[in-house]
Structure formats: C-alpha cells, structure tokens
Amino acid sequence: MIAYSEGEAKPQSVLSVLTCGSVDDGKSTLLGRLFLDTGAILPDQMRELSSGIAGDVIDVSRLFDGLEAEREQGITIDVSYRRFATPHRIFRLLDAPGHEQYTRNMATAASGASAALLLVDVRKGIGPQTIRHAAICDLFGVEELVLVVNKMDLVEWSEMPFRRLVSDFRTKFEGRIQFRSFSAIPVSALTGDNVVNASLRMPWWRGRSLLSHLEQVAPAAGRAEQAFRMPVQLVEKLSGSRHYLGTVGSGTVRTGEVVNLLPSGRQVAIKTVSGPNGPIDKATSGDAIVLELEDELDLQRGDVITSIERPATCARAIRARIVWFGEAPLIPERIYFLRIGTQLSTGAITRINHRIDLASGERVAARSLSQNEIADCDVTTASEIVFDSFRNNPTLGSFIIIDRATYDTVGAGVIDGQLSRAGNLFSPDFGIDKNKRAILKAHSPAVVWLTGLSGSGKSTIANEVEKLLWAANCHTILLDGDNLRQGLNRDLSFTDADRVENIRRIGEVSKLMLDAGLIVICSFISPFGAERRMVRELVDDNEFIEVFVKTPLDICIERDPKGLYARALAGQIESFTGLTSAYEEPTQPDLVLDTVANDAVSLANTIVGELKRRGIVA
C-alpha cells in the first residue's frame, strides 16, 4: 500500500472505475492484478493468496470475491468495492457481476462510476453480455469506456485478434453510444502484461498500459458545479416555523439566496441554512441540511428546491431509457410507481420506441420488455414530476420503477428529456360537468365493472342489470368485450400486452361516458389486477363498483356458450384466459357473485341494490 511522508503531495482526484463484461472474462483477476502489482495488497491478504497458489500463478481474483458463494462457484455475485492509490490518483474500484441474472447489481455499480473497464475475452469476442453492459454504462452516464481485451496470452500475444475484436465492437456501437472517450487496450490479467507495466511480449502495442491510461483520464465534472437541486425529504415545524430537510443533490446554496420551489413555481429567499452542527453560510452537493425560508409555504416531501438561473423541468410526459429487472415482462400502459429522488408518482410506460438487440446491438421494435432488456421508452405520470435530463443533472435525471402489488424494484431508467407534445396539452375546463349532467338525469354516474372468466355469466348478468335500470328510467350504456373488439379495439390481439391496452382504452371510454352522466356497465374478463386498479383510479371512489363473477373453471368449461373452451383445449386458440393465460382473481372486490347457486336476475338485483346503497340511484 502506498504511504505518504510528511510534506509529500497526495493524489487529489478520485476516479470511480467499474469493471464489467461477461462471466469468466477476468474482471476480478484484473482488479486483483492491479492491487498486486501496485503493492496495494496487505500482508495478511498476501499470505492468504499465497496459500492458494496452483503452480506458479497466484489466484488474485479471490481478493474481490468476498461472498462465500462467489469463492465456491468462482463467480462474482455482489458488487465489490475497493480503493487503492498511485502517486497520481486515488481509485475507487467497483467489480460488477458478469452473470445476466445479476444485471440489477451491475446497473447499481454503473450508476456510481465515472469510467468503465469493459472486459472481453479475446477468443470469445463480443457477446450479448458485452453489449448489455456497454449499453447500461451508456445509460447511466459513464463518461469513459475502456475496452479491455483480456487473455492475450491465449492467442500468443497476436495483434490481429485484438484488432478484429475492436473493429467488431466499433461496428456494433457506432452512433449508438455517447461516451465522452473510448479506448481499447490489450492485456493479460493473469500474467500482468500491460495492466500496470507495459508488456514486452506485445511490441506492436505502442499505447499506454491500463493503469497509466486510467491515471490520465480526465475527472468527471463534480456535482458541486451543477445547478442547485434539493429534493425535500421531510418538513418539520421547529421553534414555530417550518423547516425543510433534505440532502443537496447538486450545486451550492447560500443564506439569503432566492430559490425556485417546484412544482409550484414560487420563488422565495432562504432565511437560514443549517448543517448537523448548526447554522452555516452555504451548503454544497452531498450535504444534509435544514432550510428555513423567509415565507411560510406549504412544501411537502417530493417537492424540489432549485436555483432560479437553471430551474428543473415540470411535466407529465418524458422520454427515458430503461433497463428492466422484473421477472414478469414490462407491458406498456401498465401502471407502476415511479420514484425520482423523493418524488413518488404513479405512471406508465406508454410506448416502447425500440429496444437494444443484445446479439447485434441494433435497435429493434418491441411490444414488451423481458428481464434484463434495455429500451428507449415514452413515460407518462399521473401527477406532474420535477426532473432534469440525466446528462445535465443526474440528481433528478434518474428513477426506479416499482411494482404496485409487490413493491419490488422492477426497473431503472434515466431521463433524456420532456416529450415535445407534453407541453402542448392542457386540461379543458368545461362549463357543464358530470354533476350538472347527473341533475338532468336524476341519478349519479357510476362504472359497474364485471370481471370473471369466459363463460362465468358476466354478459348475462350485465344485460339483466341494464334492463332493471332502464325500467327505473336510468341512463345507461353496456360495454362488452365482443362489441369493443369488433370496433375500437379490433387492432388488438390477445397477448398480455394487448390485453393491457384493451382495458386501458375501455377505461378511458368508460370515464368519458361517466362524465356524460351515464351508469356504465362493463363486462370484461379483464384478467389482470393492475389494469382493474388502473380503471378504478380513473374515477372517484364512490363511482366504481368492482363485481367479481366467481364461477369455477370446470363450470365455465361445461357451459362454454361460444365454444371457445373446446377450441382452446383443442389447441386452436392461443393465450386463452384460465387455460393458457393467467386470470388474477380480485383480492378486494366490492361484490362477489356466485353464479352456481343463484340465477342471473337475482344477481342483477344484488348489483342494483349496491347502486341504491351508495345513493347512485333512488
């Protein structure tokens, strides 16, 4: 380990370096070699490594495989963090796993790196994981990419395999990635050639060794130089006035400075800035602070305090690049939680513009995303969010996607900017609303949503409900899967992605008809709980009644009024709900109807009774 004597200049700049690439391409070995050949291995670590010598070669990869499972399997699972220094620079090293199943961990490491060492086995060439890791590095703003062509000893130190591999990489990514700097260096991590010291066995290589190159990499711009951003984490009343707690994400803030409050757009001066030890004149990136404003304003968690000169953007529609972690596929229009800093909003990926083909690096069309796939997407949110483009300011330029049912983190993304159409749309303010229309119709509007398997009796019950309401002079409309799929939704198939879009369109149509003052009776299989919840959230709480028509599958197959089960069981229909496609039963429906023990008319009266109980009809 390098020590510094009194008066000796210490290295000032810190470079965070990620190692990534396919499994067995030598990431942990490379980092171990860096430590070994720079004298950064402690004596007790050296003794442990020497005890595992096989032949004449020390297994330096064991330094970076910290988990027992990693050492047993010879792979990297978790991200390993280490530091070492040379007379010129301090290095913070992040060793990311190469296996596809640990892509989430690799993405976490990339988000904190300024430079990346993308290792490739010179014999194997560019593989899907190489492409995936390069794309993730680009996604999370890694500025310097070094293609480390490893295991040159296994091709007898030949120049041509190295040149071919570099040319192949450039061809796959030309015009598709935006690293500030790209370079390629041939090495042998096992023998140490060209890692710390120049190799005598590759006289054709005229460039620097890997370590020498890293010492010359220009440091990334610090967040302190960026525009001021502080997401509000907590609001507390102290000594009779409101105080706003948070961590400075970027930039600098000073007492007396006038700042912008988003999303409200209000401007106010800062009365005091306090740190852990009391009042301070200014705070900068990374500082945990408490702000007191000159005016008492109703800020809340998720609001953002920014500089006036360079404020963030507020909108509900953004363009983003996403890496998907979830085991279940990402389906456009499905509602998720999106977290940006301390902001939490519901939102949906409304369109997948393209995904990256991990075999070729090409941009290809996609209707959904599978686990570990990367895509360019359009995203909309239910409420206005405060954001920056990731390349301008990562503090508000990145987000995670959370499943609303399990609360698992299923994706991560970076924001490229606001969708151009988003700033041109405004909510209309009509003089006649649904409440005035309800007065004219002498009843309140509502959505009655019947869900259940095909053949459960939904349509029959819905028809009886409409008859009863018509007889009571109520204004209704009945929406059924068959009539909508013959018109509005005739372009949709029965894949999971199209089923989601089917229900989204129906939900929006139902909302418009509810605004017209109608009682909207909907009869749809609607197999996914997330989409039924999405429709419920489109309208007011008392306006939505979820009715689970609960009929056992064997009874539905026995009834089979349209002959669909027979065709599906014969293999003539793919993706048939209940057989080859899942149906998620409602967990908290407003009504559960048993069609085995009751007839359709009595069950229709149960629904009308619920409408009366809620005061929707007299």
Is 199 marked as a binding-site residue? no
Tokens for 176?
A: 């598709």
Q: How many whole angstroms separate alpha carbon 181 and alpha carbon 167?
A: 16
Contact 357, 364 (CB under 8 A): yes
List Cβ neighbours of 178 (8 Å cut-off, separation of 6 or more): 138, 391
List Cβ neighbours of 375 (8 Å cut-off, separation of 6 or more): 321, 322, 324, 352, 353, 354, 355, 356, 366, 369
Is 51 marked as a binding-site residue? no
Q: Is 526 a catalytic residue?
A: yes
Buried b (16+ CB within 10 A) or exposed e, 358-394: beebeeeebebbebbbbbbbbbbbeeebbbbbbebbb
Tokens for 41?
A: 């291995």
Identify the CA nearest to 254 among candidates 223, 219, 221, 230: 230
List Cβ neighbours of 240 (8 Å cut-off, separation of 6 or more): none
Helix/strand/coil percentages in the chain, nearest 5? 30, 30, 40
Amino acid at 248: V
Q: How many whole angstroms separate alpha carbon 118 and alpha carbon 169?
A: 11
Q: How many whole angstroms separate alpha carbon 80 and alpha carbon 64?
A: 6
Identify the CA nearest to 366 among candidates 403, 337, 332: 332
Is 278 marked as a binding-site residue? no
DSSP readout, 89-158? -EEEEEE---SGGGHHHHHHHHTT-SEEEEEEETTT-S-HHHHHHHHHHHHTT--EEEEEEE-GGGGTT-
- Which one of the listed residues 444, 510, 526, 581 is annotated catalytic? 526
Is 578 marked as a binding-site residue? no
Is 562 marked as a binding-site residue? no
Is 124 marked as a binding-site residue? no
Buried b (16+ CB within 10 A) or exposed e, 479-490: bbbeebbeeebe
Amino acid at 270: I
Tokens for 193?
A: 């050639």
Tokens for 450?
A: 């019947």
Q: How many CB atoms lie within 10 A of CB 491?
A: 8
Q: Looking up tokens 């149509």, which residue turns up?
A: 509
Is 454 marked as a binding-site residue? yes
Is 431 marked as a binding-site residue? no
Q: How many whole angstroms separate alpha carbon 603 and alpha carbon 185?
A: 74
Could you give the C-alpha distances from 197 to 17, 33, 39, 90, in angstroms and in order? 19, 11, 13, 18
Phi, psi angles (nearest 5°) of residue 485 = -75, -15
Identify the CA nearest to 562 among candidates 485, 448, 478, 465: 485
Tokens for 156?
A: 């007898």
Q: Which residues are catalytic?
A: 526
> Residues marked as binding for ATP?
452-459
> Residues marked as binding?
452-459
